[in-house]
């Protein structure tokens, strides 16, 4: 599964979301995902991340590790520069 396919699955599962899925080691097994959605407003981080993980749980037969960060749009505006966006 490509990073684009993972991105699409996340964005389909969480309406209004914008996902960035990166493969910094170019090995297809150690990925990073940044997911921004207004659906995360007022939701604890663990529930935000559970929403994402539920959308892609079957990829862990292929992916060894996923660094996951979730943000509301307002929070993303504040922190995206520190992640190089």
Q: What is the mean pLDDT of residues 1-30?
A: 94
pLDDT surpasses 90 at 69: yes
pLDDT tens-place string over residues 20-57: 999 999 998 899 999 999 999 999 999 999 999 999 98
Domain at 33, CATH number = 3.30.300.90
Q: Which of 73, 72, 78 is nearest to 44 (CA)?
A: 72
Contact 9, 30 (CB under 8 A): no
Domain residues for the domain of 13 are: 3-83
State yes or no: pLDDT of 59 exceeds 90: no
Q: Domain count of the chain?
A: 1
What DSSP line would sit under 50-84, residue for residue?
Answer: HHHHHHHGGGGGT-SEEEEEEE-HHHHHHHGGGGT
State the burial class of residue 80 (Cβ atoms within 10 Å of its Cβ: 0-12, 13-18, 19+): middle
């Amino acid at each position: 599964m490509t990073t684009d396919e993972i991105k699409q699955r996340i964005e389909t599962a969480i309406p209004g979301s914008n996902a960035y899925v990166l493969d910094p080691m170019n090995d297809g097994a150690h990925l990073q995902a940044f997911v921004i959605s207004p659906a995360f407003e007022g939701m604890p981080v663990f529930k935000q991340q559970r929403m994402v993980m539920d959308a892609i749980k079957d990829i862990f037969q292929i992916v060894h590790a996923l660094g996951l960060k979730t943000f509301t749009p307002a929070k993303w505006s504040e922190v995206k520069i520190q992640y190089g966006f």
